[in-house]
Each structure stands twice: as structure tokens, then as C-alpha cells.
Amino acid sequence: MRIAIGLLAALVVGVRASAAGQSCESLTGLVLDDTTITAASIVPAGTYCKVEGVVEPSNHFEVWLPTSGWNGKYLGVGNGALGGYINYFGMQPALARGYATGGTDNGHQGGLFDASWAAGHPELVVEFGHRSVHTTTVAAKAVVQAFYGVAPSRSYFVGCSTGGRQGLMEAQRYPEDYDGVVAGAPANPLTQVAVAGNWVSQVLHDDPATFIREEQLPLIADAVVARCDARDGVADGVVDDPRRCRWNPRELRCPRGASTPDSCLTTEQVKALKRIYAGPRTQRGKRVFPGFAPGGEIGSGSDIGPAGEPSLSGWEGWIIGTELSLHHPIQDSLFKYIVFEDPAWDWRDFDFDRDPRFATQKAGDVLDAIDPDLSAFRARGGKIVMYHGWSDPAIPPGASIQYYERVRATMGRRETPDFFRLFMAPGMQHCAGGPGPNTFDAVGALEHWVEDGTVPDAIVATHRTAGVVDRTRPLCPYPLVARYDGTGDPSVAASFTCGKARR
């Protein structure tokens, strides 16, 4: 009842505020520091007021304002890859939930995998790294107040991948901007995520003999599931915790004289697969960054994730590419134009003893959201819901665990879950898709945590086949996992409880 009354009050506030504020069209006259409102109009059929603007030097943003049914709050949305666009995919569901919402192009326009805009423009790197989201947030809140006559009662941010990095960057650098952040599969150690991508490029593409073809992925995926699926007590085609998967790719090595290449792996391919799972290493074998986890190697096409963004899934979309080209060249462009500042730089020249450190020293201060000290954000009551799919083929899932453990070491192991929780999603791929339950309301969980103190002890996720829900499962706050009760329907979330992983 308390929640329902709160929502009703927000709606009433929204109606009154709209009556007391400015008209949509008049917002072009709004005077803000270093900001120009370039357009403001009602679209479509009176559904919302669309405001467009630019913050100097080059941050283009949009704010969408419901003309009725405003919930009294603001929701900023993040971007993907190397930005260069306003995330309408994320703004649309925010608007549908009654939020005023806003997004930025990160200070440049261009392709998702293209960083050529950074050449000779360090100010644009700063825009992409952190400034554009902050200045958009400041401008958007001013627009909201001008239109409705009151400031938003709460402000949240949601994003996945680059958007997850942006959310964590907000909590670290600009703790006053948001009351809560949803950070999905964050690329927050961006320079090192690029290192991991370059590692895969060298492993698979430097020698034609190591390349793993798309036709061989089902062989690998089936072998992982056969070995590790049932360790959690449920045979459902999903590896619950890949860290406990004791599968050795040698099992797939071709016998002598084998003439069916799609039914086995060559010795060179087995070595390559092991290196992908192991992650970047120095010449002496010291780990530089986590590797990709076994399980979920086969994708399910393009999906829409909890942050509202479309995402490719599976190794075919992110890791293997083709024998002649890198399918996912974010790291190639980032290194060329931001780290090494040389368009002729060749990914084959990357030195894993020297260059990971150089990349962090050169660009980490601007691009990496890895500060574990979240004291200022916590002090103002801020909350973070972070999630990562165990089958993510774009950003190694161990990276999120690594950051969360650093926060716990800094902020306190017992105290951290009071404001920051990580949810690992078995079988979920990059921001969306995969064989495991991968659709869930992270924003709703964050709202209840911030607004009425309902701690997210679990978030129920669903899996759909052909649009029909066929499985639900609780996502548990790390390090807890979903444990099957042994008697209930294993396709229903109620048959699971969150607890410590069984040994």
C-alpha cells in the first residue's frame, strides 16, 4: 500500500508541476552554463516533449519529458561500445515507465567501433571518458525543473557495457548526480578490457592454425555443458558458476587421422581455446586480466537487455570473427587513436609484458572507472546494482568480481552490500541473451532499494524461447548463488534459495 501511495503522489506532483512550469517550445530560451538548447517540440501526438541541446565543446544530448503521467523522477541512460550516438533504445522504455529521461552522444558522432574522432582531440577523449554524461545530467535536471516547475525527486542511471562503465564513473567522480546506478556488464577497466580483446585477436588471428571456426562452437558448448551443467544439481543447459567447471579442452582434441574437423579440435586450436579461457598473460605466465568463462559459446542473435539496449550474443558475434578480419575491433581502434596515437599501429605488435601498464598510464585516468573508494556516493545514500552474465563473450565476467572485491576491501566486506550489490547471471551473455535467464527488472529493484529500503536479496530473471517464458530463476547477490531445493520444479524461481555455493 505504501508503494502504491508513493506512486500516486508522484503522479499528482507531476501533473501539478507541469502546470506550473514552462511550455515545451519555450525551453529553447532556457539559459544554462556552456549549454545551448537547439530545439524543443511535442512528439508524437502530445506524448512527450523532446528537447535537444549541446554542451560545449561538443556534447549533443536529448531529454524526453512525459506530458502526462510523469513519475516525478529522472533516468539517465548509458551508451555502448565507443559511443557516438544517443541511446534511444534505452530512453524509450524509460519514457514508458513515466520517467523524464536523457542521453548523450558522448561528445562525438561516429561508428560504434571507431575511435578515429579522438585523433588530435584529447578534449573529446575526456568527453567520452566521463564529462559528457555528467554535463548531460546537469542540463537534463535543469530542463526537467523548467518544464515541470520542480526538480526530479529522484535521479537514476542505467547502462550496460560502456553504459555500465559510465554509471560507475558517475558514482566515483560525480556522486551528487544520481541516487542510484544500474551498472550492467561494465567495461569500467576499459583499457584492460581492450587488452583482453587484443589477447583474443593474437590468440586466434596471428596464426591461421589456431583459428576456431563458427561451425566448431556447438562442439565446444556441448562439451562444456556435458561436463559442468549438473554441478548445481539441475541439468538445464546452463553452467551455474564456470569457476567450478573442471573441463579440459583436451577432451576435444582430434585423434590421429581424423578427417571430420567440425567434430574435434586440432592441437593448435585446443591451445588457443585454453588461452582464451585463461586470459591475457605475460611471457612468464602472470595473469594480466581475467579470461572468458566456459559456457554460452553459442549465441542467440541480437537481444534486448535489461538496460534497454540491443546486443549481439555468443562467441560468433564477439570473439572469433572470420579468418581474415577481427569481428570486434573496439580494442584495435582504441589503441590506435587513444593509447598509441598511431593510425598505423598493428595489433600484432602488442606486448603483454609492457603495453597493458602503458595503456593504463596513458588513458586509464580518463577512461577507467576503477576507483574502489565510493565513500561520497554512499554518504549521500546512493545505491548500486551491478550485474554481469557469466557467459559474457565481450567483457570477461571475472572483471566485475575483481572490481567488486576491491570495493569490499576498501569500503568494508560487511558494509559494502548495504549500498552496492553484484548479481552474476548464469548463462547470460553480453547485456542480453544466452541460455540462462537473462531478462529482469534491475531498475525496479534499484528504485525499491533507494525509495523504501527494500534490499534486493534476489532479483528474479526470466528466460524466453520464441517469446514465451519457459524458465525463471533468482539472481543472487554475489558471492551467494541460487541453490535448488531438490524437490520443486527446476524451471520455477520459487524452487531456489540464495545461499553459499556447494563445494
Q: Please report the DSSP string for 67-80 in residue order.
A: SS---SEEEEE---
Do 76 and 133 touch, CB atoms closer than 8 A?
yes
User: Among the options 130, 388, 430, 463, which is catalytic?
Assistant: 430
Render the burial of 144-156: b for 16+ CB within 10 Å, e for the rest: bbbbbebebbbbb
Three-state SS at 296: coil
375 in active site: no
Q: What is the mean pLDDT of residues 412-422?
A: 98
pLDDT tier for residue 320 given thresholds of 50, 70 and 90: confident
CA angle 404, 406, 411 (to 5 degrees): 90
Angle value at C-alpha 200, between 334 and 267, nearest 5 degrees: 165
- Residues in a beta bridge with 346: none
CA distances 300 to 25, 92, 225, 272, Å, are 43, 23, 16, 24
Question: What pLDDT shows up at residue 3?
Answer: 35
Looking at residue 4, what is its pLDDT? 35
Torsion on CA atoms 353, 354, 359, 362, rounded to nearest 10: 160
Cell 606486448 identifies what position? 351
What are the pLDDT digits (tens) for 86-136? 999 999 999 999 999 999 999 999 888 899 999 999 999 999 999 999 999
Instruction: Name residue, grid cell 545551448.
Output: 36
Q: Cis bond leading into 456, ω under 30°?
A: no
Residue-level pLDDT at 256: 82
| Average pLDDT across the chain, whole number | 91
Cis? peptide before 479, omega within 30° of 0: yes
Say what the pLDDT of residue 300 is: 62
In this prediction, residue 210 carries a pLDDT of: 93
Residue 44 in grid coordinates: 508524437
pLDDT confidence of 6, banded at 50, 70, 90? very low
- 392 catalytic? Reply is yes
The confidence score (pLDDT) of residue 306 equals: 62
Strand 180-184 relative to strand 383-389: parallel, antiparallel, unpaired? parallel
- pLDDT > 70 in the chain, percent: 91
Q: How far apart are CA 89 and CA 396, in angstroms?
A: 24
392, 400, 463, 495: the active-site residue: 392
pLDDT confidence tier of residue 330, bands split at 50, 70 and 90: confident
Asked whether the predicted pLDDT for residue 14 surpasses 60, the reply is no
pLDDT attached to residue 278: 96
Answer whether residue 318 shows pLDDT above 60.
Answer: yes
Residue 63 near residue 43, CB atoms below 8 Å: no
Unique residue bearing C-alpha cell 501526438 = 45
Structure confidence at residue 316 (pLDDT):
84
Catalytic residue among 18, 132, 161, 311: 161
Instruction: Quickly list DSSP for 327-393.
Output: S-THHHHHIIIIIS--TT--GGG--TTTHHHHHIIIIIHHH-------HHHHHTT-EEEEEEETT-S
| Full-model pTM | 0.93
Helix (H) or strand (E) holding 138: helix 132-148
Which of the given ranges, 261-265, 315-319, 456-460, has the highest pLDDT on average?
456-460
Please give the distance of CA 455 from its chain centroid, rounded to a whole number.
22
Nearest to residue 241, comparing CAs of 487, 483, 493? 483
pLDDT tens profile 70-81: 999 999 999 999
Listed in sequence order, the residues at least 6 apart from 136 whose beta carbon sits closer than 8 Å to its beta carbon are 55, 59, 61, 76, 102, 103, 104
As a whole number of angstroms, the distance between CA 461 and CA 440 comes to: 5
C-beta of residue 494 within 8 angstroms of C-beta of residue 474: no
Predicted local confidence at residue 308, as pLDDT? 59
Long-range (24+ apart) CB contacts under 8 A made by 252-259 are 252/219, 252/220, 252/223
- The predicted structure's pLDDT at residue 10: 38
Is there a catalytic annotation at residue 121? no
Over residues 176-226, the pLDDT tens digits come to: 999 999 999 999 999 999 999 999 999 998 898 999 998 999 999 999 999
Q: Is 421 in a helix, a strand, or coil?
A: strand
The reported pLDDT for the residue numbered 310 is 58
- The string of pLDDT tens digits covering residues 423-464 is 999 999 999 999 999 999 999 999 999 999 999 999 999 999
- 343: DSSP letter: T
% of the chain with per-residue pLDDT over 90: 81
pLDDT of 7: 36
What one-character DSSP code corresponds to residue 360? I
Q: At what angle do helices 190-205 and 267-278 cross, to 10 degrees?
A: 180
